[in-house]
A and B are shown apart, each in its own frame.
Chain A
Amino acid sequence: MADTAHSGTPARPGPMGRMSDLLWRRPGLLILLLILPPALWLGVIYLGALFALLAQSFFSIDPFSGLISYELTLSTYGELFRASNMDIILRTVAMAASVTAAAAIIGFPVAYYAARYARGRWKALFYLGVMLPLWSSYLVKVYSWKLILAKEGILSWLFETLHLTWLLEAYLSLPVVGGNSLSVSWTGTFLVFLYVWLPFMILPIQAALERVPRSMLEASGDLGARPAQTFRHVLLPLALPGVVAGSIFTFSLTLGDYIIPQIVGTSARMIGQAVYQFQGTAGNIPLAAAFAVVPILIMGVYLYVARRMGAFDAL
């Protein structure tokens, strides 16, 4: 009672009231009560599981019995540097980089138009035009490309109707990017990745472009810059954090995906598929865990660089 008396308000009645008074006087306690359930959930379930996995990467698998030997060792990490495993890592990083670059090139005009020119109804249309593909079912999107790229599918039909089948065949006979048909080629995997992650690139670029004040572009023009110069020297540097922010998504999502290359692509594996197989059919959890550390490390470096470039302000 004495506490509340000198603050000038009467105490609230009942146990609920007393609790309210206590929380009001001790905001720290309130914060603690608020934060405890989510912190416990994420801390115990998520971080606990994550550390349990990472710890396993320091064990190794006994080559004779196939059982996990629980002695701390770095030999599992050593296995990552074997030629076949290095191939998987480099292949995945190359794919992630090309998907990211292509998404930036295709996504930029969409984001640019939506941010600078679209008004009213068009603005909403552009917004939903990016949001709906972003949120539609991942598997359905992958499935639609299986339909498109199939040998008897719409793309082959299109080439045939235009009498360009020779062009498609010439392309498919190329090494690396080609294959038996588009649905079992690197090009196919690339297209599906590009399609599925493109909206993740557009939204941050658009957010960054919308923050560029119009007066800055007018000032550049008034000072004699041609539109191309304004674009190159004013707009592009200001949009770059948005591009970097978008690239975080496209890069990270491509690094860890194992379903797309499994459904559309060659038999050459990517990191996600390697992790999946090592923990599943091969039963080599330590190597799977070590492989899982690779995208975490790559993304750690990537995020550090992105932070230096100010990408987090554009998220």
Chain B
Amino acid sequence: MHSERASLGLKIAAAAGLLFMHLPILLIFAYAFTTEDKSYQWPPPGLTLKWFGVTWARPDVWEALSLSLRVAAISTVIALILGTLCAAAVARTRFFGREAISLLVILPIALPGIITGISLRSAFNLADIPFSFWTIVLGHATFCVVVVYNNAVARFRRTSGSLVEASMDLGANAFQTFRYVILPNISTALLAGGMLAFALSFDEVIVTTFTAGQQQTLPIWMLEELVRPRQRPVTNVVAMVVVLVTFLPILGAYYLTRGTDTVAGQGK
């Protein structure tokens, strides 16, 4: 008979695995308060709140944060539109090239980011497009489509097609059917997908290094600090804030799709 209680060894292994995934992130929180500013000394010689003020007064951090938020917002909007259209077409019908389309959507995230990045960069060079805010958005929107698509396609499959037929039979036009029948059905899936796309874009660094010119998104700023540390305590504070900020959309997406057959965020 299969026992219903886990053995002690399994419990320890599972708990150890979870701890391994969480302790390093928690460590960041401790470092944000350290008084040591030259090295990564542990344990911290003292605790202070000073670095929060220093970080607050840094214009470069604010600029990077603002750019990241704007890029993420616009990329998310584009990804929402493209991902939903694609999901609507793929979910309920079979047509020529359907498999190719679903592969095409996944490809930007299935191939290593460096390949997506270099491809876009050399294409921009070939087409003489100068690097700007919009080249960053172009790259981000491309790999964010898949997150929205995954969430939307699962929801479309569960939504009964007869609802749409009934609406059309009762005289609603295509726009009304979309507004009053389809949208309420898929809205939470879209919201979850949108949040995940936002988080993905907000955090992206590999593709961005190739599609950004002189501008710095927050991850690019962090990468600079990692490669050539200038003011470590400021980096510590920014890292902690980034962790807190990205947790919100993830928790939001989880609560929005909890209890359905596919919970958002399984495929990053």
Which residues of A are interface residues toward B (Cβ below 8 A)? 9, 12, 14, 16-17, 19-20, 23-24, 27-28, 31, 34-35, 37-39, 41-43, 45-50, 52-53, 56, 106-107, 109-110, 112-114, 116-117, 124, 126-148, 150, 152-154, 156-157, 195, 198-200, 202-203, 207, 214, 217-218, 220-222, 227, 230, 252-253, 255-259, 262-263, 272, 275-276, 279, 285, 288-289, 292, 295-296, 299, 315
Q: Which of B37-45, B46-54, B55-63 contacts A (4 or more CB under 8 A)?
A: B37-45
Q: What count of chain B residues pass the 8 Å CB interface test? A: 90
Give the distance in Å from the alpha carbon of A256 to the alpha carbon of B104 in the complex: 19
Contact, CB under 8 Å: B168 / A24: yes
Contact, CB under 8 Å: A157 / B43: yes
Contact, CB under 8 Å: B10 / A42: no
Contact for B203 among A138, A148, A253, A299, CB less than 8 A:
A138
CB distance from A299 to the nearest CB of B (A): 7
Contact, CB under 8 Å: A144 / B24: yes
CB distance from A235 to the nearest CB of B (A): 10
Contact, CB under 8 Å: A17 / B173: yes
**A17-B173, A255-B112 as given contacts; A46 in contact with B142, CB under 8 Å:** yes
Give the distance in Å from the alpha carbon of A132 to the alpha carbon of B243 in the complex: 9
Contact, CB under 8 Å: B17 / A221: no
The 3 closest A-B pairs by CB, nearest first: A256-B112, A109-B13, A49-B123
Hey, which chain A residues are within 8 Å of B69, CB to CB?
A: none
CB distance from B183 to the nearest CB of A (A): 15
Give the distance in Å from the alpha carbon of A221 to the alpha carbon of B243 in the complex: 45
CB distance from B137 to the nearest CB of A (A): 11
Which residues of B are interface residues toward A (Cβ below 8 A)? 1-6, 10-11, 13-14, 17-18, 20-22, 24-25, 27-28, 31, 39-43, 81-83, 85-86, 88-90, 93, 95, 101, 104-105, 107-108, 110-116, 118-123, 126, 138, 141-142, 145, 168-169, 171, 173-175, 177, 196, 199, 203, 205-206, 219, 222-223, 226-227, 235, 239, 242-243, 246-247, 250-251, 254, 258, 263, 265-268
Contact, CB under 8 Å: B21 / A140: no
Closest Cβ neighbor of B126 among chain A residues: A52
CB distance from A36 to the nearest CB of B (A): 8
Residue among B85, B104, B112, B122 with max Cβ neighbours from chain A (10 Å): B112
Hey, which chain A residues are within 8 Å of B120, CB to CB?
A: 45, 49
Tell me the interface secondary structure of chain B in the complex: helix
Contact for B250 among A114, A131, A139, A256, CB less than 8 A:
A131
Supplied contacts A16-B174, A20-B174, A27-B93, 9 more A-B pairs, CB within 8 Å: A34-B89, A110-B18, A126-B14, A132-B22, A134-B265, A136-B246, A141-B25, A222-B1, A258-B206
Contact, CB under 8 Å: B20 / A38: no
Residue among A114, A144, A279, A315 with max Cβ neighbours from chain B (10 Å): A144
Hey, which chain A residues are within 8 Å of B22, CB to CB?
A: 129, 132-133
Give the distance in Å from the alpha carbon of A197 to the alpha carbon of B39 in the complex: 27
**A20-B168, A152-B42, A296-B111 as given contacts; A48 in contact with B123, CB under 8 Å:** yes
Closest Cβ neighbor of A315 among chain B residues: B267
Contact for B88 among A34, A154, A214, A295, CB less than 8 A:
A34
CB distance from B116 to the nearest CB of A (A): 7
Closest Cβ neighbor of A254 among chain B residues: B112
Give the distance in Å from the alpha carbon of A256 to the alpha carbon of B251 in the complex: 29
Contact sample, A vs B, 30 pairs, CB 8 Å cutoff: A9-B169, A16-B173, A19-B174, A31-B89, A35-B101, A39-B86, A42-B105, A46-B119, A48-B123, A49-B116, A49-B122, A53-B123, A106-B17, A114-B14, A124-B258, A128-B251, A135-B250, A137-B203, A137-B239, A139-B219, A140-B243, A143-B239, A147-B28, A154-B42, A220-B2, A252-B110, A255-B112, A257-B113, A259-B205, A259-B223
Contact, CB under 8 Å: A292 / B222: no
Give the distance in Å from the alpha carbon of A306 to the alpha carbon of B192 in the complex: 29
Hey, which chain B residues are within 8 Å of A276, CB to CB?
A: 114
CB distance from B23 to the nearest CB of A (A): 9
**A52-B119, A285-B122 as given contacts; A195 in contact with B21, CB under 8 Å:** yes
Hey, which chain B residues are within 8 Å of A50, CB to CB?
A: 111, 115-116, 119
Give the distance in Å from the alpha carbon of A230 to the alpha carbon of B114 in the complex: 43
Contact, CB under 8 Å: A37 / B199: no
Residue among A16, A113, A138, A147 with max Cβ neighbours from chain B (10 Å): A147
Hey, which chain A residues are within 8 Å of B11, CB to CB?
A: 113
Hey, which chain A residues are within 8 Å of B118, CB to CB?
A: 53, 275, 279, 288-289, 292
Contact, CB under 8 Å: A130 / B21: yes
Hey, which chain B residues are within 8 Å of A116, CB to CB?
A: 6
Closest Cβ neighbor of B41 among chain A residues: A152
**A137-B242, A148-B27, A198-B20 as given contacts; A272 in contact with B175, CB under 8 Å:** no
